Amino acid sequence: MFTLQNLVIALALVLFAWYFIGVIVGRQRGATLVREIRSALEGTGKTFLIKWFGRSAFQVDVSEPASPLKGLQVFCLLEPRDFALALAWNRIRRRRDQVIISASYMSPPPALVRHPLESYGIPGLSAMEVGPESPHVRLTLQVGVGNEGAIRTALEWLRHNHVKKRA
């Protein structure tokens, strides 16, 4: 019999199952991003400190980063895979796992000419902030599954190409 009560119970069971599957998938995705970030950071500093903020966010601090960097942090905010409505809302807004890379330099980089974000060659780049205060550069990436290489590309850009587009 197809009643409203049965429909509500079925929806509750689906959302209940979605939650547990989402938690598992979120943990796997977090582990994948940690591996990718650590791999991309190889050779940029002496040690890495990973701090988790709940199940859906973590930060990687690099101690003594290689020149020209003075400070480097990578913050990752995972999609809410365990909450179906929030996941759908993020997908509608074209939001994925967000990786925010903050870099400080020995001396502030020159001001950049405003170019379209696509011109920097960093896939998934959704925001760039450059300023005279530390952190001097902050990049925000939308990293979907299969686009993890964008993290390495962004870190390479920060290490080598940060002064190419002068004002």
Instruction: Tell me if 167 is assigned to some domain.
Output: no
User: Would you state the pLDDT for residue 51?
Assistant: 95
Spatial distance between the Cα atoms of 143 and 105, rounded to a whole number of angstroms: 25
In a domain, 165, yes or no: no
Whole domain around residue 114: which residue ranges?
4-160
Query: Up-side HSE of residue 127: CA atoms within 13 Å toward CB?
Result: 9
Domain contains 130? yes
Q: Do 166 and 113 contact (CB within 8 A), yes or no?
A: yes
pLDDT-based confidence at 16, cuts 50/70/90? very high
Percent helix, percent strand, percent coil in the chain, to nearest 5: 40, 30, 35
d(CA 157, CA 121): 9
Domain annotation covers residue 129: yes
Q: What is the pLDDT of residues 93-106, one digit of tens each?
A: 989 999 999 999 98
Q: 49 lies in a domain?
A: yes
More confident residue, 2 or 151: 151
Q: What length does the chain have?
A: 167
- Residue 161, token pair as written in the block: 């190409």
Number of domains in the chain: 1
Phi, psi for residue 14 in degrees, rounded to 5: -65, -45
Cα–Cα distance between 150 and 156 in angstroms, integer?
Answer: 10
pLDDT in tens, 78-124: 999 999 889 899 989 989 999 999 999 988 877 767 788 888 889 99
pLDDT digits (tens, 9 = 90+) for 42-63: 877 778 899 999 989 999 999 8
For the CA atoms of 113, 119, 121, 122, the dihedral, rounded to the nearest 10 degrees, stands at 70
pTM (whole model) above 0.95? no
